[in-house]
Amino acid sequence: LDAVLEVREAVDFLRYYAAEARREFAGPHPMPGPTGEDNSLHLHGRGVFATISPWNFPLAIFTGMTAAALAAGNSVLAKPAEQTPLVAALAVRLCHEAGIPDDVLQLVPGDGKVGAALTSDPRLAGVAFTGSTETAHAINRALAARDGPLATLIAETGGQNAMIVDSSALPEQVVRDTVISAFQSAGQRCSALRVLFVQQDIAPKLNAMLAGAMDELTVGDPALLSTDVGPVIDKDAKAMLEKHAARMAKEGTLIKEVKLKPDCPLGYFFAPRAYRIDALSRLEREVFGPILHVVEYGADRLDDVIDAVNRTGYGLTLGIHTRIDGKASYIAERLHVGNAYVNRNMIGAVVGVQPFGGEGLSGTGPKAGGPRYLHRFATERTLSVDTTASGGNASLLSLNEEN
């Protein structure tokens, strides 16, 4: 299912950016000016863009940022994550077969050394990047250290994504959306739920229901429809999760660990699990994988929860579960996040409907799949013509020809 949805998202990006380019880039935009003067605004590509995409959406994000850069009039050096070069290679081959010239779109596979060589080249006009906050900082420093024109950086990075649940929420709905948000795609989504804040009044019941729902998860071969959670990307990701789980075993309380089947196929499988911890500050950084952290809070401590989430500096996704409209608005207005979802899961933003991207440590904006994204890949030029003077010159020229 995840693979099918990713193909659909890649197609959505292609169609959306093509439509936006036709609307925004086809011809000049008239601008108001003084009488006797025509003014127009033209959008042009900046030059050569490097697109550096992640492994967790090896087709959709790779295609989306590359298509945006091309639609805005740039040439593209497309570097996929080192873990997923074959998907990117197929995507580029299909683009070439569709008519995009080979020298306008080039695949640049490789590891971080290749990315560093790209971002340090002074001929580069800009970089579109999706990945970790640490890598985004490194790219920003590399671009700033170059001689030559200042480059554009468009970055979508990580998040310490939270869901806040009050006592009015429907428990069954909360559990359903929590399991989807935390464990679908093995928790390897930028938008995935990391920290579940539950009002103390309902925490015992909700934790029990969460454990029961996790009991129903099947970990195994992602090619099987019966599988709910597949493997994590590689041995380094599994090692990181195991290290964090060992720490949580000492500093938190295990709510539930999904049992792996004895016949689980070969791969880097990590059992999804949920831990109760005493505070968000217990987490030093985003844990990218199927580990959920649950923090309980008192009914009178909602503002403390909001402040704690804002203090992380991240601002990507937020979930809110409440049947009190005023409280949902109160939380959404005070939390600095790019995408907030009320009484639903918090993954799976739809291109053109829910533009995706964060703020603070979670990204630069503008949002991917939104109406302002293409403009960041372009530069603006204005043309002003004195129509009065042009008309006078035309009349003189005509008179001279007659004589």
Q: DSSP assignment, residue 229?
A: B
C-alpha pair distances (Å), 94 with each of 91, 100, 207:
5, 9, 47
| Cα separation, 229 vs 241, whole angstroms | 15
Q: How far is CA 38 from CA 31, 91, 166, 382, 388, in A?
A: 8, 43, 58, 10, 10
CB neighbour list of residue 50: distance below 8 Å, 6 or more residues apart:
76, 77, 78, 79, 108, 115, 118, 119, 124, 126, 127, 128
Cross-strand bridge partners of residue 43? 380
By three-state DSSP, how is residue 275 classified? strand
Cα 71 from Cα 45, distance rounded (Å): 9
Type of residue numbered 67: A
Catalytic residues: 156, 190
Quote the CA–CA distance of 373 and 150 in Å, as a whole number: 19
Q: In the structure encoding, which two tokens stand for residue 239, read together?
A: 């090692």
**Three-class secondary structure of residue 383 per DSSP:** strand
